[in-house]
Amino acid sequence: MLIFIFLLLMEIHSTAAVTHTLKHFYTTSSQVTNFPQFVAVGLVDDVQIDYYDSNTQRCEPKQNWMKDVVDPQYWEMKTGSCLCAQWTFKADMEIAKQCFNQTEGVHIFQRMYGCEWNDETEEVTGYEQYGYDGEDWIKWNVKVNRWIAAKQQAEITTNQWNNDRVELARKNNYLNQECPAWLKKFVDSGRSSLMRTDLPSVSFLQKSFSSPVSCHATGFYPNRAEMFWRKDGEEVHDGVVKGEILPNNDGTFQMSVDINLSSVAPEDWSKYECVFQLSGVKEEIHRLEKTRIRSNESNIMMIIPVAAVVAPIVVLCVLGGIVFIYYQKKNQTKTRSQETASLSVMTDDSQGSNPSDKPLLRRKANPNS
Domain boundaries, the chain: 17-194, 201-296
Q: Which of 58, 62, 57, 28 shows the shortest CA–CA distance to 42?
A: 62
Handedness of CA 282, 287, 288, 290 (dihedral sign): negative
Q: Tell me which of 307 and 125 has the higher pLDDT.
A: 125
Mean pLDDT score, 203-207:
94
CATH code: domain 201-296 is: 2.60.40.10
pLDDT of the residue at 330: 44
Which residues have a Cβ under 8 Å from the Cβ of 257 and sit 6 or more positions away? Answer: 214, 215, 227, 228, 229, 240, 241, 242, 243, 274
pLDDT of the residue at 227: 97
- Residue 350 pLDDT exceeds 70: no
- Residue 269 pLDDT exceeds 90: yes
Mean pLDDT score, 197-206:
94
pLDDT of the residue at 303: 37
Q: Which of 142, 182, 178 shows the shortest CA–CA distance to 20?
A: 182
Mean pLDDT score, 108-116:
95
201-296 and 17-194 share a CATH fold: no
Which residues have a Cβ under 8 Å from the Cβ of 309 and sit 6 or more positions away? Answer: none
pLDDT of the residue at 215: 96
Mean pLDDT score, 115-126:
93
CATH class of 17-194: alpha beta
Which residues have a Cβ under 8 Å from the Cβ of 52 and sit 6 or more positions away? Answer: 39, 40, 41, 58, 59, 60, 78, 79, 82
Top mean pLDDT of 13-22, 288-297, 319-328 is at 288-297
Concatenated DSSP letters for 318-329?
HHHHHHHHHHHH
Mean pLDDT score, 313-326:
41
